[in-house]
Structure 1
Amino acid sequence: MHTHTLAQVAAHMPHDGWGGGPGWFIVFPILWFLLAVAIVFLVARGARRRFRNGPPWAHHATAGPNPVAILGERYARGEIDETEYRSRLDVLRSSTPPAADAG
């Protein structure tokens, strides 16, 4: 029976292609870092695109028909005259709603 030293056994082991030395200890963390940077970049870019027209929660508050546009359409069709149009437009543009008529 032949006895071999550890160095002789290691020299005759098959090479699997991963024996690049200690360089892989540097390359893998760099690759993980680049992957993390790419993910953060893509998430930030998507958020910027979604917020381009304002925050998403602001769109829900303005859902529905625009009352000023509806009033303008009614005036253009002749359903209301200029006095009523201007009166209602002032009410729509004021910050406080009009008081209900008592009679």
Structure 2
Amino acid sequence: MFLRDGIFWGMHLIWWAIWLVALGWIFFAPSNWPLREEEEENDALTVLKIRFAKGEITKEEYRNQKKVLELDA
């Protein structure tokens, strides 16, 4: 009844679109979400490098803080 009139095909196509979007999201979603601990540790080292580059800390302070960060990891 509905298949021959063409009314049903609109809903059928919508469901296929929903499934394709869902599968695309599952397979192509970023793999780094949520952040892992390793990335958070690297963030601390990155902040330390930026502070050193800006001249906020001395070379000796940079080395000491870098050793502390590496020992905690």
TM-score by length of 1: 0.40
Task: Flag the structure with larger Rg.
Answer: 1
> Higher helix proportion, which one?
2
TM-score by length of 2: 0.49
Larger RCO (alpha carbons 8 Å, 6+ apart): 2
